[in-house]
């Protein structure tokens, strides 16, 4: 696995009719707390020099530290407020949004062609929110327009859901809401327009992922972090025609046995929960999506309204 970028991509069509992408940035910019060898080893290995840190703690020997960087906290630190800190302190040593930035070229997994202006061809696009309910671990869209619908409905749950319901949602379509400087419905239209610039077989396949589904006790089901590569493996195998999927009203899910779960401490019931598609919950979700679309009035593309109607029809027939 090689890295071209970790945040922003600029895409355009190449002479081959496929979308190609470049990384327009020179470095990586990440949230420090929670970043460690267990969660993101390549990020830590990138931070050996030439870095800028904000709102982290200082060690007595002039190094930096934050919660999650190591298993054991130093005995004494100067916290992000400039105060003495020990493991007995009541507040974290680093601000929850403390940051690091480092040159991308220092990343151990950086691709040799990461600065190639021709870019790299894009085979798949992944969208994801933090959903405790409803959304399966991974779903493949039926086609480009359905994938745009998926992207337009990306959200995270702000509140816990009562049993059989969906919690209050924080909408973040395409994970772009803070960065889109014009009407979001027009942004959706632009994605749909892009799909018409080439033939369907040359477009990237679109997937939705959700690492954050919870069980009835409120615990995360999926282990996350490096285990997410198992989902990426299934996606790559789908692109290569080597992995099976089953059709559901909401999209294509991994067929039984198609996702490598070897070595994971997951029960059959937990696996079922990861991929469960509950009709009533999804009909409720469709109502919430309709309400959200209504905020944009007649600027919502007809194709997305059509996708919503088709979802309801599939759910009603299931």
What pLDDT digit, counting tens, does each position of 83-135 carry? 999 999 999 999 999 999 999 999 999 999 999 999 999 999 999 999 999 99
Domain ranges in the chain are 1-122, 123-317
What pTM did the predictor assign? 0.90
CATH topology of domain 123-317: Phosphoenolpyruvate Carboxykinase; domain 3 (3.90.228)
CA-CA distance, 99 to 113, in Å (whole number)? 27
The pLDDT-based confidence of 164 (bands split at 50, 70, 90) is very low
Report the candidate in 297, 310, 294, 302 with the shortest Cα–Cα distance to residue 192.
302
- If you average pLDDT over residues 197-224, what whole number do you get? 96
Mean pLDDT for the chain overall: 95
- If you average pLDDT over residues 26-51, what whole number do you get? 96
- If you average pLDDT over residues 154-176, what whole number do you get? 76
**Residue 168 phi, psi dihedral angles, 5° rounding:** -65, 135
- If you average pLDDT over residues 228-251, what whole number do you get? 98
- Determine how many CB atoms are found less than 10 A away from the CB of residue 130: 16
Domain range 1-122, its CATH number among 1.10.275.10, 1.10.10.60, 3.10.28.10, 2.170.8.10 = 2.170.8.10
pLDDT above 80 for 160: no
Determine the pLDDT at residue 1. 87
CA-CA distance, 317 to 231, in Å (whole number)? 29
């Amino acid at each position: 696995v090689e890295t071209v970028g970790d945040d922003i991509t600029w895409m355009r069509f190449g002479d081959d009719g496929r979308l190609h992408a470049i990384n327009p940035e020179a470095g990586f910019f990440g949230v420090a707390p929670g970043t460690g060898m267990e969660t993101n080893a390549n990020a830590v290995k990138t931070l050996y020099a030439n870095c800028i840190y904000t709102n982290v703690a200082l060690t007595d020997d002039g190094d930096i530290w934050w919660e999650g960087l190591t298993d054991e906290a130093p005995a004494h630190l100067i916290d992000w407020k400039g105060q003495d800190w020990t493991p007995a302190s009541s507040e974290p040593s680093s601000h929850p949004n403390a940051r690091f930035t480092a040159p991308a070229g220092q990343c151990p997994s950086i691709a040799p062609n990461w600065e190639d202006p021709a870019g790299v061809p894009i085979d798949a696009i992944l969208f994801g929110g933090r959903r405790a309910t409803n959304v399966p671990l991974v779903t493949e869209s039926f086609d480009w327009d359905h994938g745009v619908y998926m992207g337009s409905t990306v959200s995270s749950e702000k509140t816990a859901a009562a049993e059989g319901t969906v919690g209050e949602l924080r909408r973040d379509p395409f994970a772009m809401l803070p960065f889109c400087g014009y009407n979001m419905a027009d942004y959706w239209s632009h994605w749909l327009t892009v799909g018409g610039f080439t033939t369907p077989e040359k477009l990237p396949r679109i997937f939705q992922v959700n690492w954050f589904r919870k069980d009835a006790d409120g615990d995360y089901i999926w282990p996350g972090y490096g285990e997410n590569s198992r989902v990426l493996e299934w996606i790559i195998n789908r692109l290569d025609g080597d992995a099976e999927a089953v059709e559901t009203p909401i999209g294509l899910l991994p067929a039984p046995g198609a996702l490598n779960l070897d070595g994971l401490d997951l029960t059959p019931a937990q696996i079922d929960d990861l991929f469960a598609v509950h009709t009533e919950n999804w009909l409720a979700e469709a109502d919430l999506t309709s309400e959200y679309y209504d905020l944009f009035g007649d600027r919502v593309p007809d194709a997305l309204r059509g996708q919503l109607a088709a979802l309801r029809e599939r759910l009603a027939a299931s």
